[in-house]
């Protein structure tokens, strides 16, 4: 939020698959004036109905393929806000922290990266195996990219919409073949592309809570191997032509608009996308 109270429009992208029991808890804490984009993976427990009942203005889209990566791609494509927040539906990420991510972006960052391993962060859910694996994978990426990630595999992030060309995630046509980045490795893919794209990444302390209800689909070993493969592919993948210029142009356009809007009176901390 700016000093005048005028803030950027916020879109919160929430991938779901049979999260009907968790959605009420999450929705109670979400900012009322943010756009909620719920991406459903064809749930069978009434997740969509629960979401509509709680937030009739919720934007609901369906995945075109399977996997968390495809869900995020579909959500990003549907989001209309200036800032896009990635939020899990299982209750592990605290929606009350969204304001901290937004503030970091308003203060000048392009990409706000959640971290459980910096001062103020933590986790009551991560296992020792996953913690050590994450530490090793973070160290590998930092070595390859000369970066300083402390929590590579954590998926609670927020970024300005002009970063989307750099992230280069596309939902594709419904029923298509599986694509690179469709799975849990998408969080690593996003973080590496943000770093290689020259985005100003600032880490934000975040606390990870245990999943509220249900069972995670994450497999520490198999998904860890997918992340390792993602690191080596993405660290050396040529950047698509034009994406950096497109992001720079989008950044300039957005900053001009927000600067102009700061001159107007405002009373809300969050502004719903038009």
Model pLDDT, residue 134: 84
Can you list the alpha helix ranges (DSSP code H) found in the chain? 23-29, 47-54, 68-78, 98-106, 128-145, 164-167, 186-196, 220-236, 243-261
Cβ-contact 72, 86 below 8 angstroms: yes
Other C-beta atoms closer than 10 Å to the C-beta of 123 total: 18
Cβ-contact 142, 113 below 8 angstroms: no
Question: In Å, how far are 110, 239, 244, 264 from 252, measured between CA atoms?
Answer: 12, 21, 12, 19
In terms of pTM, does the model score above 0.75? yes
Q: Which of 193, 220, 243 is nearest to 127 (CA)?
A: 220
Model pLDDT, residue 274: 46
Cβ-contact 111, 200 below 8 angstroms: yes
Model pLDDT, residue 221: 60
Rounded Cα distance, 167 and 170, in Å: 9
Instruction: Give residue-wise pLDDT tens across range 191-244.
Output: 999 999 999 999 999 999 987 865 665 555 676 788 899 999 999 988 887 888
DSSP-derived secondary structure letter, 248 = H
Model pLDDT, residue 213: 66
Model pLDDT, residue 60: 97
The total number of residues written for the chain in this structure: 274
Model pLDDT, residue 143: 96
Average pLDDT, whole number, for the chain? 88
Q: Report helix, strand or coil for 26.
A: helix
Model pLDDT, residue 218: 58
Name the maximum alpha-carbon separation found in the chain.
52
Model pLDDT, residue 216: 60
pLDDT band at 5 (very low <50, low <70, confident <90, very high): very low
- Mean pLDDT value of segment 49-55: 96
Assigned token pair, 88: 């899990």
Q: Report helix, strand or coil for 10.
A: strand
Instruction: Give residue-wise pLDDT tens across range 91-135.
Output: 999 999 999 999 999 999 999 999 999 999 999 877 777 788 888
Instruction: Give residue-wise pLDDT tens across range 143-178.
Output: 999 999 999 988 999 999 999 999 999 998 888 788
- The enclosing H or E element of 157 equals strand 157-160
Rounded Cα distance, 253 and 159, in Å: 16
Model pLDDT, residue 73: 97
Cβ-contact 27, 2 below 8 angstroms: no
């Amino acid at each position: 939020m700016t000093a005048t109270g005028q803030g950027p429009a916020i879109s919160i992208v929430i991938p779901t698959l049979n999260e009907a029991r968790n959605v009420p808890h999450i929705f109670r804490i979400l900012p009322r004036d943010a756009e909620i984009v719920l991406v459903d993976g064809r749930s069978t427990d009434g997740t969509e109905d629960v979401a509509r009942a709680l937030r009739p203005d919720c934007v609901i889209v369906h995945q075109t393929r399977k996997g968390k990566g495809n869900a995020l791609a579909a959500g990003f494509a549907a989001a209309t806000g200036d800032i896009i927040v990635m939020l899990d539906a299982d209750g592990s990420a605290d929606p009350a922290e969204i304001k901290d991510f937004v503030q970091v972006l308003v203060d000048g960052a392009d990409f706000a990266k959640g971290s459980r391993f910096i001062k103020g962060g933590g986790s009551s859910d991560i296992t020792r195996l996953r913690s050590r694996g994450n530490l090793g994978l973070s160290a590998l990426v930092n070595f390859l990219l000369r970066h300083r990630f402390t929590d590579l595999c954590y998926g609670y992030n927020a970024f300005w919409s002009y970063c989307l060309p750099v992230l280069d995630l596309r939902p594709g046509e419904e029923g298509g073949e599986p694509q690179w980045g469709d799975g849990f490795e998408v969080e690593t893919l996003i973080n590496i592309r943000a770093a290689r794209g020259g985005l100003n990444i600032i880490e934000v302390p975040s606390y990870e809570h245990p999943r509220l209800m249900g069972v995670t689909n994450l497999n520490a070993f198999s998904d860890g191997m997918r992340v390792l493969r993602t690191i080596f592919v993405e660290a050396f993948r040529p950047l698509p032509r034009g994406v950096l210029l497109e992001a720079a142009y989008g950044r300039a356009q957005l900053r001009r608009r927000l600067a102009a809007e700061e001159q107007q009176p405002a009373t809300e901390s969050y502004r719903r996308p038009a």
